[in-house]
Amino acid sequence: MDMNTTMGAALPDWLTPLAWTYGLLALLSAAVIATDVWARGHRHRTVTAEITWVGAALFLGPAALVLYRRYGRKPQPGARPTDARPVVVDSLPGGTASALAHLVGVPLVIASGLTIAGTDLWVMIAVIAVVAIALLAVHERTTDGATTLTAVARATLTVVAFDIGMGGWMLLLHFNDLMPPAADVQFWFLMQIGILAGLLTGAPAVAALRRTPARLPTAA
């Protein structure tokens, strides 16, 4: 069954106001961080790092403000050093890459009409993964100074681990007829939950990668 048809009828009615409320809070949180970065001048070393924090609010909502205030905001002169960052903070680039990949990939797949085995779900998962890898590789390249090959390899490993949670969540919804059409606000709320699931399954890979330098030593 195509995801554009009427699906998700089994979802509770209260999910719609919850989805709208959380969605608006997420957009407001993203606007607060964007204002602090680009209007109030708390700039980061790279634009991709700034986009990571703004994009994180799209799925973390107000929780992103708490993390941003403690770990993301550029410290002022004389400020005490922050605590060691938790792995969730290093996972945010992958989450933001997934969020942006959804915003690009889902409309693209719907407009293309492409399906595999009679559904566009498989195409969406593949397109979202490819776009997320590309975006995350750019982040690795610009923020961590990785070579292109290393950046793509690290991004691929992260997204594959991430998709265990994100893709698994999408499959669970689909095969239980709980996936609403993409034009429904419930769809995007459920995708926000999926990104959070992806953060959980991707955390071990992120933790392992942050112990490995992104910039490999060159031969003498």
Of 27, 65, 53, the C-alpha closest to 188 is 27
User: 3 is written with which tokens?
Assistant: 């995801």
Q: Is 175 exposed, middle or buried (0-12, 13-18, 19+ CB in 10 A)?
A: exposed
DSSP string spanning 29-70? HHHHHHIIIIIS----SSHHHHHHHHHHHHHHTTHHHHHIII
Q: Give Cα separations from 135 to 24, 48, 66, 104, 138 (angstroms).
A: 25, 9, 25, 11, 5
Q: How many CB atoms lie within 10 A of CB 219?
A: 3
199-215 per-residue burial string, b: 16 or more CB within 10 A, e: under 16:
bebbbebbeebeeeebe
Domain ranges of the chain: 15-75+85-210
Which CA distances in Å does 89 have to 22, 66, 178? 21, 11, 30
Instruction: Report yes or no on whether pTM surpasses 0.85.
Output: yes
Question: Which pLDDT tens digits describe the chain residue by residue (220 residues)?
Answer: 344 445 667 899 999 999 999 999 999 999 999 999 999 999 998 999 999 999 999 999 999 999 999 999 865 555 454 447 899 999 999 999 999 999 999 999 999 999 998 889 999 999 999 999 999 999 999 988 889 999 999 999 999 999 999 999 999 999 999 999 999 999 999 999 999 999 999 999 999 998 887 764 443 3
